[in-house]
Amino acid sequence: MRALVWYRSDLRTADNTALHHACRAADEGVVALFVISPGEWEAHDLAPCRVDFMLRTLQELSAGLAALNIPLLIEEAALPGDVPGVVARAAARHGCGAVYANREYEVNERRRDAAVSLLLAADGRAVHLFTDQIAIEPGEVRTGEGRFFTVFTPFKRAWITHLLETRGGVRVLPAPNKQNNTGCTPAQVPGFVPGFVSPIPAERWPAGERHAQQRLRAFIAERGRAYKQSRDFPGEPGTSQLSPYLAVGAISPRQCFAAAAEANGDSPDPYRLGNEGLLCWISELIWREFYVHILAGFPRVCMNRPFQPRTERIRWSDNRDHLEAWKRGRTGVPIVDAAMQQLLTTGWMHNRLRMISAMFLTKNLFIDWREGERFFMRHLVDGFFASNNGGWQWSASTGTDAAPYFRIFNPVSQSRRFDASGTFIRGHIPALAGLDDESIHAPWELSPLARARLTYPEPLVDLSRSRAAAIEAFAAIRD
């Protein structure tokens, strides 16, 4: 039997569940396939920098597969609905008796995979899907009543218990065996796809699983133990910045969990006891699992709807000028504008800043969270629907386990706490570089003469009054 491995968001050879099982099952070689689908990417708001990162990761993947005598084929589907036919024809053309792939959980992706299964079944070919994007399949962990969890902390407790009971910790799959040569020639991975040309320099995000592994090792060795203390400060290199690699699957969550647990190896329970920095990072990885669990259990969040139906009654502001100013980093609130400039110039934003900028948009400007969710996806190199949607709904108080509507970040307080010296702000807003460490967080508090010297906008809204208005609007829809 010859097997076809259909790559999607799992662009690596190491610890790849579908590739592992395909190599075990095939006795006439393995063929790999990736489908370039601009229509699908556009429908899912993929950022040009993310597509560029994905293509560069594919180039390394092709070389890694070639070393195993597995050719990577590249096909193109102009429209999302064309993908199932492209996969089915590729399997038939290369004499593959079965297709192996790792599951994706968004509604459209599940429908696509169901369509592929029907087409292949009609042709006498099988489809095998595996858990790989996350460590534990959604639905395996449930409440005592058999429901999907909707609150993170009990989910985390149950998730860790299930992990330890069923697997004794996270096991990483062995490297795939070298395959018989199928006679196919690897395809040329394109350097770019029209409509998705990245403005972010490629060197900002070196691509591929080799770089992902290097970054993981460096983070664990150099910053993992201090992660809890340093992760909230955008001016410091306190985070792993592995999210782009997780998003395209250049590294697996299992590899990340295993590395953290191993570094916490003196602990009898490395997922719950031990170094607080490593435990904090493990917890952040479990948040990713939680958000995938939510979109699988509550598909409405994939359909442009809030998790909490009552919040559909909110009447958001339609002030397009405010929205455009937020997008361009011209709100007049330095920490928000610096965050947006970081996104526009690097394709990435520090997690603390994601929360600050999202709360400012939804609570101070009172603009629909879906506008911000879409803008982030269109600019993030690590755009991953589950995490992006979950984070935006948390910030907007429309989601599961969301921030209570009356707890609203004050961006000035957040700025003074997490960028006290203004280092991050100065790095992204040159117009404020000359201000002292206190004034830089709220330049509207300067004297009129000093304020007049700045080429920086006044705040779009009054922070206190806009906060009060948001609380009042949410209070009015309480059940």
Residues 308-357 have pLDDT tens digits of 999 999 999 999 999 999 999 999 999 999 999 999 999 999 999 999 99
Q: Give CATH for domain 3-130.
A: 3.40.50.620
309-475 belongs to CATH 1.10.579.10: yes
Answer whether 129's CB lies under 8 Å from 5's CB.
no
CATH of domain 152-173+208-297: 1.25.40.80
- pLDDT tens-digit readout, 397-410: 999 987 788 889 99
Boundaries of every domain in the chain: 3-130, 152-173+208-297, 309-475
pTM, whole model, 2 decimals? Answer: 0.96
Q: How far apart are CA 348 and CA 270, in angstroms?
A: 30
Angle between helix axes 320-328 and 369-377 (nearest 10 degrees) is: 30
Identify the residue with better confidence: 182 or 252: 252
At 61, list the tokens: 């993947």
Residues 327-362 as b/e (b if ≥16 CB within 10 A, e otherwise) read bebbbbbbbbbbbbbbbbebbbbbbbbbbbbbbbbb
Per-residue pLDDT, 169: 84
What is d(CA 90, CA 242) in angstroms, rounded to the nearest whole number? 32
HSE toward the beta carbon, residue 315, CA cutoff 13 A: 4
CA angle 359, 200, 50 (to 5 degrees): 70
Per-residue pLDDT tens digits for 152-189: 999 999 999 999 998 878 989 998 999 998 889 999 99
The span from the CA of 73 to the CA of 94, in Å, is 10
Q: Which helix (DSSP H) or strand (DSSP E) does residue 50 occupy?
A: helix 48-66
The residues carrying an active-site annotation are 284, 287, 316, 351, 369, 392
What does the buried/exposed string (b/e) look like for 6-36 if buried means 16 or more CB atoms within 10 Å of the residue's CB?
bbbbbbbbbbbbbbbbbbebbeebbbbbbbb
